[in-house]
Amino acid sequence: MAALIEKVRQDYGGVDPYNILVFSNHPQHYALDERHAPGNRWAAFISRKARVPVHHEKALFDLWNAVNVYGNVPSKFPPPRESTITDQDVTPEEMPSNS
């Protein structure tokens, strides 16, 4: 992968045409019947020489983490948009109902 990434960088004049590359294999469709599926495999690379700079690098790490938790059902959710932003997540039971 490193050689391919370097080749692409050379082809683009020494900069990367991406900010993050993610290679993933989530092989759930290979599971037979109700058996446990093979494990997920993935790799991610965040460019330090991107053509377009990222002003909020945390967004790239959020994408990185999303691949890592693929298939996991969250137990906490961010607060509703109309609420005041805090560092506290809320559980599903604490979320306000829209009904």
Residue from 39, 30, 42, 37 nearest 67 by CA: 42
Residue 49: which H helix or E strand, with range? Answer: none
Position 69 scores a pLDDT of 76
Domain that holds residue 63: 2-94
The domain total for the chain is 1
Is residue 73 within 8 A of residue 48, CB to CB? The reply is no
Is 17 a domain residue? Answer: yes
Q: What mean pLDDT is predicted for residues 51-79?
A: 81
Is 43 a domain residue? Answer: yes
Read off the DSSP letter of residue 77.
B
The pTM for the full model equals: 0.58
- E strands present in the chain: 20-25, 41-46
Encode pLDDT of 55-68 as tens digits: 999 999 998 888 87
Task: Say how far apart CA 54 and CA 36 lie, in whole Å.
Answer: 39
Query: Could you tell me the pLDDT band of residue 17, with boundaries at 50, 70 and 90?
Result: very high
**Predicted confidence (pLDDT) at residue 84 exceeds the cutoff of 80:** no
